[in-house]
Amino acid sequence: MPKRLASSLSDEVLEHVFSFIQSEKDRNVVSAVCKSWYEIERWCRRKIFVGNCYAVSPEMVIRRFPQVRSIELKGKPHFTDFNLVPDGWGGYVLPWITEMAGAYPWLDEIRLKRMVVTDESLELIAKSFKDFKVLVLASCEGFSTDGLAAIAASCKNLRELDLRESEVDDSSVHWLSHFPETYTSMVSLNISCLGSGEVSFSALERLVSRCPNLRSLKLNRAVPLDKTANILRLAPQLVEFSACTYSAELRSDVFSNLAGAFSNCKELRSLSGFWDVVPDYLPAIYSVCSRLTSLNLSYATILSPDLIKLVSHCPSLQRLLVLDYIEDSGLEALASNCKDLQELRVFPSDPFDAEPNASLTEQGLVAVSLGCPKLQSVLYFCRRMSNAALVTIAQNRPNLNRFRLCIIEPNTADYLTGEPFDVGFGAIVEHCKALIRLSLSGLLTDCVFEYIGKYAKKLEMLSVAFAGDSDLGLHHVLSGCESLRKLEIRDCPFGDKALLTNAAKLETMQSLWMSSCSVSFEACKLLSQKMPRLNVEVIDERGPPDSRPENCTVDKLYIYRSVAGPRFDMPPFVWTKDEDLALRLSP
């Protein structure tokens, strides 16, 4: 019966039906139904996401999916953001570009995160893909403005160029001028990471004025205030804007020019930048505030009274990023004014001072959890917390799906009771059943991991630091968290036992990072031998791990599943079980 049904629909009809299925997960399910569906699906899959560029090889991707138009790749582990991964670890995109240049002439979108991108890669992209439209380089490095010039010169249909948080070397080439005068397709441009020498204002203004579809523009820090107003006047259709170096003194002519420019922007929904802003200029944006859904003030040293005034003008706010200058009072104002708030991130203005720099405590977060019914995503840095507050937050907001708390000083206890935060985080995982991402901090015993293993069934990513008492903690997580994909751990007393007992679990996950823990090199070698589909990388700059005493623990460990086998581009400080030195990258 099912066989008849399957063959009664022609390939074209099935392909048409599949074209409505966009999500990767759904496509994967479709391809598993039967062989013919697998075949049809693989020929019509247009979009690929590879969460770990070493989990699969470009040849394998191309072999299975011959007609891809859009690819997203991620390279280095997340803890690279916190300088825990040494330079040169890997994540090179060139092998991928080289293969795709031949196989996917119609590729039009490349999105990369934490990868090493060279000018050679960018030149190859510019040369190989005739209809190239979207280039996103998030937290990437290894390229210069020369590479950008190649993209600008060749990609006449480029719609999106986003360099967010990448490191770009200045080769002194005026790359923006390489966009030909006939080029008018830019929709989204993010050059906020570039230094002052790397952008020519006149080229920028000419580019902006000839791109009528420009919706998102994120400029770098060095654009002065009068230029900012000019650019806004050239692009009143902007939806997202980031800029502004504010000068120190309020000049009424500059102010009114800026205010006028903003008032023209009826579509503006998202603002960021605000480096060096002086509060007296803030009223210049009041005309757009009522429509703003996203505000990033995490670079702005504005104090609480001015933040409160600003926030009270933004009732439609869904996303706020801000420094702890907002204080509890500011968060209370946020809670009363911004009922649509979905995401809140509060960063520390002075993380290295033992004394607090602003009056921000757990009370602010409790207020927002109570006042903002749509709050789903939290990233909060603070210096004190209580279990009572965490329990309240969990009960107020069971719809949280991302909860990242960083109590700045490691091993800080509940300031009211002196207890660890096991109960508090336990309440979070128990009440917030949709939680997919969690970061822990403060004093924590193995108990918190028992709660996490028991309740956090939807959890996909867990970050742990300075927590736990023994291997039991890690064991609870690995054996209990069914949906776990990424686990990153630093400075915890987790060792060989939990790892080896849960070896099979590791193959169901994308990756495990452990640094400054208690894992021995012997256990790593053993794990690697028994689990051929895991790449077990010991990252240790101190020298060969087996040259040290047997009970010496490895510095850093990165384990990830892969169908591509061991990689061939490992630097000298990455150690695997393979003694074959031919596999090493020669210095």
Task: Give, as ranges, the residues between 512 and 541 that touch another protein (CB under 8 A).
Answer: 516, 518-520, 522-523, 525-527, 529-533
Write down the least CB distance from residue 150 to another protein, Å. Answer: 26
Output the six-digit token pair for 494. 């987790």
Residue 200 touching another protein (CB under 8 A): no
574 half-sphere exposure, CB direction, 13 A CA radius = 22
Is residue 248 within 8 Å of 224, Cβ to Cβ?
no
User: 83 burial class (0-12, 13-18, 19+ CB within 10 angstroms)?
Assistant: exposed
Coil, strand or helix at 298: coil
Residue 196 touching another protein (CB under 8 A): yes
Q: Which is nearer to another protein, 5 or 354 (CB)?
A: 354
Residue 424 touching another protein (CB under 8 A): no
Q: What is the identity of the amino acid at 227?
A: K
Q: Which is nearer to another protein, 101 or 303 (CB)?
A: 303
Residue 544 touching another protein (CB under 8 A): no
Binding mask 383-402 for another protein (x = CB under 8 A): --------------------
Q: What is the identity of the amino acid at 505?
A: K
Q: Which is nearer to another protein, 493 or 572 (CB)?
A: 493
The residue count for binding another protein (CB under 8 A) is 81
Q: Which is nearer to another protein, 14 or 243 (CB)?
A: 243
Question: How far is Cα 376 from Cα 340, in angstroms, rounded to an integer?
Answer: 11
Q: Which is nearer to another protein, 392 or 553 (CB)?
A: 553
Segment interacting with another protein, rule: CB under 8 A, options 49-57, 254-262, 284-292, 489-497: 489-497
Candidates 81, 131, 267, 541; binder of another protein (CB under 8 A) is 81
Question: How far is Cα 370 from Cα 498, in angstroms, rounded to an integer?
Answer: 38
In 3D space, the residue among 267, 211, 263, 268 whose CA is nearest the CA of residue 234 turns out to be 211
Residue 280 touching another protein (CB under 8 A): yes
Write down the least CB distance from residue 264 to another protein, Å. Answer: 28
Question: How far is Cα 450 from Cα 4, in angstroms, rounded to an integer?
Answer: 50
Write the DSSP string, 167-204: -EE--S--GGGGS-TT-----EEE-TT--GGG--HHHH
Write down the least CB distance from residue 310 to another protein, Å. Answer: 15
Coil, strand or helix at 584: coil
Name which of residues 114 to 173 contact another protein (CB under 8 A).
165
Candidates 128, 411, 445, 483; binder of another protein (CB under 8 A) is 411
Name which of residues 462 to 481 contact another protein (CB under 8 A).
463, 465-466, 471-472, 475-476, 478-480
Is residue 381 within 8 Å of 357, Cβ to Cβ?
no
Write down the least CB distance from residue 355 to another protein, Å. Answer: 7
Name which of residues 550 to 569 contact another protein (CB under 8 A).
550-551, 553, 563, 565
Q: Which is nearer to another protein, 206 or 548 (CB)?
A: 548
Write down the least CB distance from residue 495 to another protein, Å. Answer: 3
Residue 380 touching another protein (CB under 8 A): no
3-class secondary structure per residue, 90-148: CCECHHHHHHHHHHCCCCCEEEEECCECCHHHHHHHHHHCCCCCEEEEECCECEEHHHH
Candidates 12, 87, 253, 355; binder of another protein (CB under 8 A) is 355
Q: Which is nearer to another protein, 155 or 193 (CB)?
A: 193
Q: Which is nearer to another protein, 6 or 503 (CB)?
A: 503
Candidates 406, 413, 447, 557; binder of another protein (CB under 8 A) is 406
* Residue 543: other Cβ atoms inside 10 A: 11
Residue 408 touching another protein (CB under 8 A): yes
Phi then psi for residue 545, to 5 deg, are -65, -30
Write down the least CB distance from residue 406 to another protein, Å. Answer: 5
Q: What is the identity of the amino acid at 384?
A: R
- Residues with Cβ within 8 Å of 377's Cβ and at least 6 positions away in sequence, in order, are 342, 343, 344, 400, 401, 402
Candidates 180, 410, 543, 544; binder of another protein (CB under 8 A) is 410
In 3D space, the residue among 386, 380, 393 whose CA is nearest the CA of residue 415 turns out to be 386
Is residue 429 within 8 Å of 459, Cβ to Cβ?
yes
Candidates 309, 433, 497, 584; binder of another protein (CB under 8 A) is 497
Residue 275 touching another protein (CB under 8 A): yes
167 half-sphere exposure, CB direction, 13 A CA radius = 7
Write down the least CB distance from residue 351 to another protein, Å. Answer: 5
Q: Which is nearer to another protein, 63 or 530 (CB)?
A: 530
Is residue 542 within 8 Å of 555, Cβ to Cβ?
yes
Residue 496 touching another protein (CB under 8 A): yes
Helix (H) / strand (E) containing 405: strand 402-407
Q: Which is nearer to another protein, 134 or 461 (CB)?
A: 461
Write down the least CB distance from residue 500 to another protein, Å. Answer: 4
Residue 453 touching another protein (CB under 8 A): yes
Name which of residues 12 to 71 contact another protein (CB under 8 A).
none
